[in-house]
Structure 1
Amino acid sequence: MRRPALAALLGLAVLPGFAAAQPVPNPPSGPGMMRGPGWRHEGNRPEDPAAFLMKFYAANTTHDGHLTLAQAKAAGMGPIAEHFTEIDTKHHGYITPYDIEAWRLDAMARRLELRADQLRAQD
């Protein structure tokens, strides 16, 4: 009777060690963070926001929450690398997920304004 209980207790003591060995990034969160129809990638297919954040943090090899142009290129983040200077509006030499979201929302706003102008012209 004691041996199974001891084995179960030992097993429970080892499990947290396995969980701690897997670092999990803390993606930014907040109302509307990384959501909406403007959150797209190549091919104009919707991209899962959580998957994008995981890709961002995997590409961030320095683990400081800032993505450099070299890191974006090395991770194969084509659109982000191509538009890096547009996204880095403060000219820090790095971008954050918030910078990327702001850039994407600005692009979506420009598209919506253009479409609104087209619709107004039809009247």
Structure 2
Amino acid sequence: MAGNSGKLNAEAAAFFKQGNEHLNKKEYGAAIVAYTKAVELQPDYAEAFHNRGVAYSNKGDYDKAIADYTKAIERKPDDAAAFFNRGNAYQQKGDHDKTIADYTKATEL
């Protein structure tokens, strides 16, 4: 289900599924394209932002990953996995204070 709206756009869901298939095959660029289409169609789609963040992180683009994890958290503030993954991205960047803050929040959730 998408973020706050509770109603998932079928076309967005299809792009999300496509993104997941690419992500599983480690085709990160193609996954990013598919997730981007999903969030363009459904801007409150927290899971699509989260998974696009995973794809960016796997490509080593931690700034874009952090931005997407943040968007996912804004749409779904109780998503422990998004906090954890954002913490991982902060760790890769060497930002230990933000890493600890996100890991702590993930643990609380």
**How high is the TM-score relative to the length of structure 2?**
0.27
**How high is the TM-score relative to the length of structure 1?**
0.25
Specify the structure having the higher radius of gyration (Cα): 1
